[in-house]
Homo-oligomer: A and B are copies of this chain.
Amino acid sequence: MKHLGCAYYPEYWGLKRVATDARLMRAASIDTVRIGEFAWTRMEPQEGIYTLDWLHQTVDLLGRHGISVVMCTPTATPPAWLTAAYPDTLLVRGDGTRMVHGGRRHYCSSSDTYRRHSARITDVLSREMARHRNVVAWQLDNELGPEFGWCHCENCQSRFQAWLKARYGTVAELNARWRTGFWSMDFSDWRDVRLDDGRTEVYSSQKLDSRRFWSHMMVDLAQSQTAIVRQNHPSALVTTNGMGPIYPFIDSYELFRDLDVACDDLYFDIATMDANTAGMNIYRSIKPGGRYWATETGSGALDHGKPPHKDQFRAWAWSSFAHGADAHFVFRWRSCLSGQEQELQGILEHSGKPRHRYRAVRDCFRELASLRNRFKDLPLPKADVAIVNDYQTLWGYDSSRIGKEIDYLGLIYETHKALYQRNIQEDIVPPGTDLGGYKLVILPSLMIISEAFAADLRAFIQKGGHVLAIGQIGIRDENDNYHPEPGPAHMADLLGARIEGGMYLRSHVGPDEALIVGQTATQVEVAVRGTLGGCLVKGVARHWIGDITLHGGTALMSFADEAYRGQPAVVENRTGKGRMLHVAAARLDDGLSEAVLSDALDAAGVRKGPQTPLHVEVVKRGSVTFVINHTASPVTVKLASKGRAVVGRYEEGKAELSAYGVCVVER
C-alpha cells in the first residue's frame, strides 16, 4: 500500500503539538496526512487577510519527519464572516428558509459569490502550498454532497432553467420530452420550471432532472477547483473524497471522470462486510486500470458506536489492500475536544495519549509497511463479472412513486453479496464501460437503457458474452417515462421477448385488507416453475412480475399462478455466440435466485473461488492470495493453489485463521 495515513487538524491542536504528533505518527508507520480540510477561518480569518504561516511550518515539520501531505481546499466550511457578509452563499431549503451558520456544507454550490470566494482561497492555497515537495496530492472540498439537502435559492432556479435550456433547447421540447400532457403540466416559459421542492408532487421527469442538475452543480464546482489546483500545482494528484458504497446524491462516475484517483470514505464499522466489499469494488472500478484510495476509515467508533475488536482494524486494512486500494487513511489522528464530532474516536485519546486504538493502528500499519516493497507491483483483482450500476435508473426509481419495494441499490448489493459469498470478484460499473474483458454482465433492474448501451450489450453478446437481466429492463426512457411500446426498448431482439406490462405484488385486494382501516398491505408471492440446467426447479417471485410474450426466446420457467399463469418467468435467448437470460421478476426467493445465478455463471464459464463461511474472504491479486476472516470465529480455509504464507499460517493447502485473522499466500 502506497500511503498509510490519517486526517490531521493542526489548526485545532496548535503548532506546538505538531512535532510530538509527527513522532507518534512515524512510530505508527503513518507516512501521509490529510490536512487543511476545514481550516478556512484559520487560513483567512478576515476577508483577504491570509494567515498561512502555521500551515507552512506544519508542512515543513511533517516533511522533516518524512511525512507526506494531502492538502485539502477548506471550502466545505465557509467562515462565519463570509456567510454573514454574503448571505447568498448560504443554502436555501425546500421550504424557502436559508441555512444559518453553524454546521458544514451550508453553502449553495451554484452561488456566484460562494464560487468566487471558493476559487480565491483555492488559488491562494494551491499557489502557496505548491512549493512544498511533500505535498503530493490535493483533496477538493470534503464529501461533496447535500449534507443538509439541496439548495433551492433563486440562483439555483435560474441555473436550473439555463441547464434545462441547454439540454432541451425550447420549452416545447421540454414539454415533449417530459410528456407534460397529464395534469396540465405544460410549461410556456422557462421561468416557471422550478426545482423539485419535495413538497409538491411534481412529474417524475422534473424530479429526475432536478437530481441531475444538483449533482452536476457539485461536479461543476469540483471541476472549477480542479482547474485552479492543476494550474498552480501541476505535479500533484487531484482528487476528492467520495462516499459509498454507492453515494446516491452525486453521480460519482461524472465526479471522478477528470480526477486522478477515486477516493472513498469507507467506515467499515457501520456497514456489513458485504456492503464494504461492494464499496471497494465500485471505487476500484471507477478509474479502470487506475487505483483507488480509502480516504477515511475509523480506528475507533464513528459517532458513539462501540469500537471494533482490536484485530478488526487489521482485517479491514488488509481487505482494503486486497481489493486494490493504494492508500488507507484513518479518520482522524486525535479525538476532538469540541464540536459536532467530539464523540468520534481518533487514533489518540482526547488527552492526546496513545492507548488502545493507537496500538491497533500502529501494529497493523507496521506490518503493511514492512511488506510495501514486496507487494508494490501487484496487479488488481481480475473480475470476470460486471454488475451494471446506473444513476439514471437509481434516480428514476426515486423520482416516481414506485420503487419503494423495488430497492434498486439493494438489488445491486444483493447481487454483489451472492458473488462475494462465492468468492467471485466482480466490477461494479456504469453503462458505457468497456465490457470487453467480462464473461458475464448482470443488469439488476436496469429500468432505463439508452440506445448506445443496448448496442454495447448487443456487441458483447454477439462476441460470446453472457447477460443476466433481472426484472424491469429498458421499460422507461431517459426522462423516466414509459416507452409507448412494449419493452425493452432498443433490445427486444436480445431478450427474445417483450415486456407487455407487469404487476407489483403489493396487495390491497383481499376483501379484508384495507386502505382505510389500516394501510396493511401484504406482499403476494407468485409461484414459478421450470427447468434450469436440466433440473426441475421451483420457487416464488416477489415485488414485481412481468407480463411477457416470447418473440424468439425460450421460456425456461413460467409463472404457475395468478393472472400471468403459464406466461414466461425466465427467458433464455441466444444471439451470436452469446446468451441473454431474463428473469421477469424483481426478486426471486433465495433458493431460486441462487439457481438462476449459478446457471448464468456456469453458462458463462465463470469459476467460483474457494468455499468459505460467510464473511471469510479469498481475494487474488496476481500471484498473491489474501484470506481474511471478518468473523469472531477461527476458521480453516482450503485453497487450491500452492504457495507459502507471507502473513499468517498456511500449511498443506490450508490457511489457518484466528478470529479476524489474515493469511497472505504467495505462489
Chain B residues with CB under 8 Å of A178's CB are 338
In order of increasing CB-CB distance, the 10 nearest A-B pairs are: A179-B338, A102-B202, A77-B184, A270-B515, A12-B181, A304-B504, A273-B511, A41-B186, A272-B514, A511-B615
**Docked complex Cα distance between A236 and B42 (Å):** 57
Nearest B-chain residue to A193, judged by Cβ: B80
Chain B residues with CB under 8 Å of A271's CB are 508, 514-517
Cβ of A125 within 8 Å of any chain B Cβ, yes or no, is: no
Chain B residues with CB under 8 Å of A309's CB are 509, 563
**Docked complex Cα distance between A274 and B140 (Å):** 56
Q: Is the CB of B181 within 8 A of A11?
A: yes
**Docked complex Cα distance between A536 and B587 (Å):** 55
A46-B188, A102-B194 given; A338·B507 CB < 8 A: no
Q: Is the CB of B272 within 8 A of A81?
A: no
Q: Is the CB of B500 within 8 A of A340?
A: no
Cβ of A255 within 8 Å of any chain B Cβ, yes or no, is: no
Chain B residues with CB under 8 Å of A197's CB are 100
Cβ of A434 within 8 Å of any chain B Cβ, yes or no, is: no
**Docked complex Cα distance between A92 and B82 (Å):** 25
Q: Is the CB of B303 within 8 A of A101?
A: no
**Docked complex Cα distance between A410 and B203 (Å):** 35
**Docked complex Cα distance between A275 and B518 (Å):** 12
Nearest B-chain residue to A39, judged by Cβ: B184
Interface flags for A466-488 (1: CB within 8 Å of B; 0: not) read: 00000000000001111111100
Q: Is the CB of B511 within 8 A of A181?
A: no
A343 smallest CB distance to B (angstroms): 5
Cβ of A78 within 8 Å of any chain B Cβ, yes or no, is: yes
Cβ of A307 within 8 Å of any chain B Cβ, yes or no, is: yes
The stretch among A57-65, A351-359, A577-585 that forms the contact with chain B is A351-359
**Docked complex Cα distance between A65 and B508 (Å):** 36
Segment 196-222 of A: residues with Cβ below 8 Å from B:
196-197, 199-206
Cβ of A612 within 8 Å of any chain B Cβ, yes or no, is: no
Q: Is the CB of B100 within 8 A of A97?
A: no
Q: Is the CB of B339 within 8 A of A203?
A: yes
Instruction: Name 12 extra pairs, CB < 8 A, besides A84-B192, A351-B500.
Output: A41-B188, A45-B188, A80-B188, A101-B192, A272-B517, A310-B563, A342-B482, A343-B401, A350-B482, A355-B501, A511-B614, A512-B614
Cβ of A452 within 8 Å of any chain B Cβ, yes or no, is: no
Chain B residues with CB under 8 Å of A274's CB are 511
Cβ of A306 within 8 Å of any chain B Cβ, yes or no, is: yes
Interface flags for A151-194 (1: CB within 8 Å of B; 0: not) read: 00000000000000000000000000011111111111101111
Cβ of A336 within 8 Å of any chain B Cβ, yes or no, is: yes
Chain B residues with CB under 8 Å of A93's CB are 199
Q: Is the CB of B342 within 8 A of A204?
A: yes
Nearest B-chain residue to A185, judged by Cβ: B339
Cβ of A618 within 8 Å of any chain B Cβ, yes or no, is: no
Cβ of A636 within 8 Å of any chain B Cβ, yes or no, is: no
Chain B residues with CB under 8 Å of A503's CB are 300-301, 306-307, 345
A612 smallest CB distance to B (angstroms): 12
Chain B residues with CB under 8 Å of A106's CB are 200
A41-B186, A181-B42 given; A349·B500 CB < 8 A: yes
Cβ of A89 within 8 Å of any chain B Cβ, yes or no, is: no
A359 smallest CB distance to B (angstroms): 10
Set B99, B245, B343, B509: member contacting A307, Cβ < 8 A: B509
**Docked complex Cα distance between A203 and B104 (Å):** 11
**Docked complex Cα distance between A413 and B514 (Å):** 12
A305-B506, A501-B350, A511-B273 given; A337·B96 CB < 8 A: no
Segment 66-83 of A: residues with Cβ below 8 Å from B:
74, 77-81, 83
Chain B residues with CB under 8 Å of A187's CB are 80
Cβ of A645 within 8 Å of any chain B Cβ, yes or no, is: no
Segment 502-559 of A: residues with Cβ below 8 Å from B:
503-509, 511-517, 521, 524, 547
Cβ of A377 within 8 Å of any chain B Cβ, yes or no, is: no
Nearest B-chain residue to A356, judged by Cβ: B563
Interface flags for A262-301 (1: CB within 8 Å of B; 0: not) read: 0000000111111100000000000000000000000011
A200 smallest CB distance to B (angstroms): 4
Chain B residues with CB under 8 Å of A342's CB are 204, 400, 481-482
Cβ of A402 within 8 Å of any chain B Cβ, yes or no, is: yes
Nearest B-chain residue to A341, judged by Cβ: B182
Cβ of A631 within 8 Å of any chain B Cβ, yes or no, is: yes
Cβ of A103 within 8 Å of any chain B Cβ, yes or no, is: yes
**Docked complex Cα distance between A514 and B97 (Å):** 34
A6 smallest CB distance to B (angstroms): 15
Cβ of A9 within 8 Å of any chain B Cβ, yes or no, is: yes
Segment 391-427 of A: residues with Cβ below 8 Å from B:
400-402, 404-405, 410, 413
- In the assembled complex, 23 residue pairs joining A and B whose CB atoms fall closer than 8 Å, in A order, are A12-B179, A12-B182, A39-B184, A45-B186, A74-B184, A80-B185, A81-B189, A84-B192, A101-B200, A104-B183, A204-B342, A269-B509, A270-B508, A272-B513, A303-B401, A305-B508, A305-B521, A306-B509, A342-B482, A351-B483, A351-B484, A352-B484, A512-B614
